[in-house]
């Protein structure tokens, strides 16, 4: 009886562990998909592919009924004009936002004064404790965003910690580079929190509402302690 109970418990534990792993994988897939859909015009492009079938079918039906190519092409042309208008509107709003955010100086990069060895140590610490999403952010992405000019790469950094924790982490980087502010990370449009671009206003608000525990602060501080030994 005891042996059967142990076997049953072991099977239950195995099923529970499998469900936990499945949930983690589904979260990562969902997070990656959401990030992809929110990046640039990807959402509009995917939606246009899905809805294009309806307009193409409409054009096909009109051609079969009336045999007029110009009439049949009308729905497809209307669809193309509609999608083009949306893409132009998105691009216009993005450029207007960038102009309003930084009217005088264009941010070309965060340009941290770190070499690969230093950043790799920090990267390993952040991923080991699951503050940084390793599946969405390679070390090369991490290095590119923090060191290189933005026009040299298409990398982005994805954090999966809480927003107050993320503010504390970014503040640690901010302390190490004169002229870097929390708004610098926002304006870079390269820093994501669980699939969404960060804003300094939201991070500061969340931090003030519920700042991280002292244990977390000490842990993150330890990621940077070795810099005093350079």
Query: Can you tell me whether residue 212 is helix, strand or coil?
Result: coil
Runs of H (alpha helix) within the chain: 2-38, 42-66, 69-101, 116-128, 139-147, 163-175, 182-188, 200-209, 214-224
Q: How far is CA 201 from the centre of its chain?
A: 18
- How is residue 23 written in tokens? 């949930």
Token pair 């669980």 is at which residue?
194
**Confidence at residue 103, expressed as pLDDT on a 0 to 100 scale:** 43
The CA radius of gyration of the chain, in Å to the nearest whole number, is: 24
Taking each helix axis from N to C terminus, what angle separates 116-128 and 214-224, rounded to the nearest 10 degrees?
Answer: 150
> Reading across the β-sheet that carries 196-197, which strands appear in turn?
157-159, 191-193, 196-197
Closest CA to 183 of 166, 201, 207: 201
Evaluated on CA atoms 51, 54, 58, 61, the torsion sign reads positive
Q: What are phi and psi of 181, to 5 degrees?
A: -125, 175
Token pair 């109970």 is at which residue?
5
pTM for this structure?
Answer: 0.56
**Backbone angle region of 40, left / alpha / beta, with phi > 0 → left and psi within -120 to 50 → alpha:** left
DSSP structure class, residue 68 = -
Cβ 52 vs Cβ 79: under 8 Å? yes
Query: Can you tell me whether residue 192 is helix, strand or coil?
Result: strand
DSSP structure class, residue 133 = -
Running along the chain, 230 residues long, what does each successive block of 10 average in pLDDT?
70 79 71 59 72 80 83 84 81 62 63 89 95 95 93 93 96 89 92 94 92 93 76
Cβ 196 vs Cβ 202: under 8 Å? no
**Confidence at residue 179, expressed as pLDDT on a 0 to 100 scale:** 85
**Confidence at residue 68, expressed as pLDDT on a 0 to 100 scale:** 81
- How is residue 161 written in tokens? 């910690």
**Confidence at residue 104, expressed as pLDDT on a 0 to 100 scale:** 45
**Confidence at residue 36, expressed as pLDDT on a 0 to 100 scale:** 60
């Amino acid at each position: 009886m005891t042996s059967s109970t142990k076997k049953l418990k072991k099977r239950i534990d195995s099923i529970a562990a499998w469900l936990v792993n499945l949930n983690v994988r589904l979260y990562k897939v969902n997070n990656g998909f959401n990030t992809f859909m929110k990046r640039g015009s990807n959402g509009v492009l995917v939606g246009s592919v899905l809805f294009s079938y309806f307009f193409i079918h409409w054009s096909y039906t009109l051609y079969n009924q009336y045999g007029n190519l110009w009439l049949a092409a009308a729905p497809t042309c209307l669809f193309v004009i509609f999608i083009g208008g949306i893409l132009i509107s998105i691009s216009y709003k993005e450029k207007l936002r960038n102009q309003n955010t930084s009217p005088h100086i264009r941010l070309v990069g965060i340009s941290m004064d770190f070499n690969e060895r230093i950043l790799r140590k920090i990267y390993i610490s952040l991923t080991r404790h699951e503050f940084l999403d390793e599946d969405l952010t390679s070390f090369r992405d991490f290095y590119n965003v923090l060191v290189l000019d933005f026009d040299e790469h298409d990398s982005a950094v994805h954090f999966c910690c809480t927003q107050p924790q993320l503010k504390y982490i970014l503040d640690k980087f901010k302390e190490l580079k004169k002229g870097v502010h929390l708004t610098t990370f926002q304006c870079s449009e390269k820093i994501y929190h669980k699939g969404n671009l960060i804003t300094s206003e939201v991070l500061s608000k969340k931090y003030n509402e519920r700042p991280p525990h002292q244990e977390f602060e000490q842990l993150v501080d330890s990621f940077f302690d070795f810099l005093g030994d350079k």
